[in-house]
A = this chain, B = another copy of it.
Amino acid sequence: MEDGRRPTIRDIAREAGVSVATVSRVTHDDARVVAATRRRVQDAIDRLGYSPSALGRGLATRRTNTLGIVLPGLGGPYFAELVQGAESVAVERGTAINVLGTHLRPDADGAVRDLAARTDGLIVAGGTVGEDLLVRLSAGTRVVLVAGRSDVVPTVRTDGRAAAIALTKHLVAPRERGGHGYRRLRFLGEPSGSPDTHLRYSGFRQALGDAGLAECGEPLRYGLEVGSGALAARRLHEQHRDGDRLPEALVCANDELAFGMLITLPGLGYRLPDDVAITGFDDQDLAALASPTLTTVHQPVHDLGARAAALALDGTGGRGPVGPPGTDVVLPTELVVRESCGCSAA
């Protein structure tokens, strides 16, 4: 039985004394096969341990039943959740999932094209591949950009600007309307550093303007990791020592930066959120566990993955067909109010 190679459809056909077409029909539950024949074939299949080659099948049908997901890295808080979202819809369609992290790959573009060559649809995270490559890819596969904007491929994302507005509103709104009434706010992050940060900063300013306020000082221009947050905290401390008034609230471009603040400022003698309120963005798991717990914006990452997968797999966004190319699905974020903005522990 074992001569090393996997049995092919022809082996089964011979074993069962039928044609390959019939075997093919059996593996597809084609009703036209009479019960007796079907049984003979199924027996042979079981006996030889046959399972159809995805390759051969793919070549013949021009479908791979595979969904590709391109992300910067295969770590971080987003990866698992996004993949799970995609998996949840892939399951229904019997589709496999192929993941690719570009950061580690020396020839990222090549790897992406390679991936495109073996998938029916591609989910690409914003910022991982250039617009030009996106164009080329979309000629062959169905490509969906997640967490980013593009005119050439359909898009699934959240509205970072609107979210930042809602967040900032909570900080500046008068107390009687459930806000904190802060008037001196500052932004932490480099607005020109990433599109996300830019949008968040823009929303921040918008809400400030709407409330008749101005930023109290330039954005603290730092990277996006915990370390940068810690650095910024020290810088803030120095400025304060040199006479600057502390802002009442610091709006951070993401949770990591906020964590950096949370772990550094107390050591410098500041009480949070009394001396300065801190907010994050993204709602990582840690946000609920930090001390004080972090007020932030929740991203529906799972849903992003699911919607993107649905689009990439058959052009359906979930609520009926939506036609690429101009498609732009915007999922709602949620303001998660915890302690670090000054709200008391419930």
Contacts and interface: CB of A to CB of B under 8 A. Distances in A.
Interface string A1-23: 01000100000000000000000
Interface string A95-118: 011111100111000010111111
Interface stretch (A58-66, A210-218, A332-340): A58-66
A308 to B, nearest CB: 15
Given A74-B84, A113-B51, A139-B6, A66 B118 contact: yes
Interface residues on A, range: 35 or more
A74 B66 contact: no
A80 interface: yes
A88 B341 CA distance: 40
Given A49-B139, A99-B99, A100-B96, A74 B55 contact: no
A139 B49 CA distance: 9
B74 A83 contact: yes
A78 to B, nearest CB: 10
A99 B97 contact: yes
Nearest to A73: B84
A96 B118 contact: yes
Contacts of A96: 98, 100, 111, 114-115, 118
Contacts of A97: 98-100
Contact of A55 (B6, B58, B76, B91): B58
B87 A51 contact: no
Number of copies: 2
Contacts of A105: 91
Contacts of A56: 59
B80 A104 contact: no
Interface string A276-291: 0000000000100100
Contact of A289 (B53, B64, B136, B289): B289
A79 interface: yes
A209 interface: no
Contact of A79 (B80, B88, B286): B80
Given A55-B58, A91-B105, A2 B139 contact: yes
Interface in A36-62: 49, 51-56, 58-59
A94 B88 CA distance: 27
Contacts of A98: 66, 96-99
A91 B74 CA distance: 12
Interface in A294-331: none
A75 interface: yes
A91 B80 CA distance: 19
A140 B80 contact: no
30 contacts: A49-B139, A51-B113, A51-B116, A51-B117, A52-B117, A53-B59, A53-B117, A54-B114, A55-B55, A55-B117, A56-B59, A66-B98, A73-B84, A74-B84, A74-B87, A75-B80, A75-B81, A79-B80, A80-B80, A84-B101, A91-B104, A91-B105, A96-B115, A96-B118, A97-B98, A97-B99, A98-B98, A98-B99, A99-B99, A289-B289
